[in-house]
Amino acid sequence: MYRRQPSYNGCLLAETQRDRIDVVLVSPRNPLNIGAAARAMANFGFERLTIVAPFEAHWREAKSAVGAPELLQNARETATLAEAIAEFTFVVGTGTLTYRKPEQPVVPLPALVPFIQQELQGAGRVGIVFGPEKHGLTREDLSYCHLLVEIPTDARQPSMNLGQAVAVCLYELTRGELTRTHPDKTLDSTIEKFQAAGADRKAPSGALDRLSDVVEQTMTGAGYSPQIMQAANRHNLRLLLRRLSWTESDVKHALGLFRRILWRLAHRDR
């Protein structure tokens, strides 16, 4: 999986693999942090950066992007996280568990590599998502993620600077070998679950959102989802679809099924 060269940087991922891993920054406030993240990406050879709803309009001018001005200029900007990750087949959220109760599998950063390896062996695209400086990813943001990765930090200072967090995560991906500090049966079962989809092409996030919309319309049409519960049901449905490791074929068949049910509900008088 790794490109070998007789030099200190011989463990960097191959360019074709790095091109399938995107860094996504959600609502970053400080352009200097965006620039620092871009510099960290350049350090490890990553070029695909997406900025979601940035707080400052002139973030592309950040002086902290030393050695990475083109990366910053070529970065993609989107209005929503859903739009940013629509083409990704595996989305990793980052953060600390200090102030949140996770609703998806959680792995420590050193254990993330097998999941990325598994995705890159197929035709998948990976997105690593970082939240804003003040509070990190919200519960709603995390509902778009297949996995939550936690960077091991001291409990007295659990959060990290945005640029530093990006650097630490990307460094871990460039390591030349997997490191497992101790046997973890729960982690092994989580890896096996994500491998269970086999060689089939995994459904991208945008396809899962289209399916979620149709299922939600069907639930509403059947009277299952009253207005007061629609937001909660939408959130839980988004999480459920990502836990099940859908393939593109699965989504296609499920869309046909629910659209047929929805049509029947709309024409029930006939």
206: CB partners within 8 A, 6+ apart: 82, 85, 86, 87
What is the per-residue pLDDT across 38-55, written as a single tens digit (0 to 9) for each? 999 999 999 999 999 999
d(CA 142, CA 159): 17
Region 62-73: what's the mean pLDDT?
Answer: 92
d(CA 27, CA 17): 26
What is the per-residue pLDDT across 127-151, written as a single tens digit (0 to 9) for each? 999 999 888 899 999 999 999 999 8
Q: Is the pLDDT of residue 270 over 70?
A: no
d(CA 62, CA 83): 24
Q: Give the pLDDT score at 265.
A: 86
Domains of the chain listed by start with CATH number: 15-195 (3.40.1280.10), 205-266 (no CATH)
Q: Over the chain, what is the mean pLDDT?
A: 84
CA 248 remoteness from chain centre: 18
- Residue pair 108/4 in contact (Cβ under 8 Å)? The answer is no
- 159 burial class (0-12, 13-18, 19+ CB within 10 angstroms)? middle
Q: Is the pLDDT of residue 186 over 60?
A: no
- Using alpha carbons only, give the angle 254, 231, 256 rounded to the nearest 5 degrees: 10
Backbone angles phi, psi at 26, to 5 degrees: -95, 120
d(CA 26, CA 46): 18
- Residue pair 21/124 in contact (Cβ under 8 Å)? The answer is no
In angstroms and rounded to an integer, the radius of gyration of the C-alpha atoms of the chain is 20
Region 15-25: what's the mean pLDDT?
Answer: 92
d(CA 195, CA 205): 17
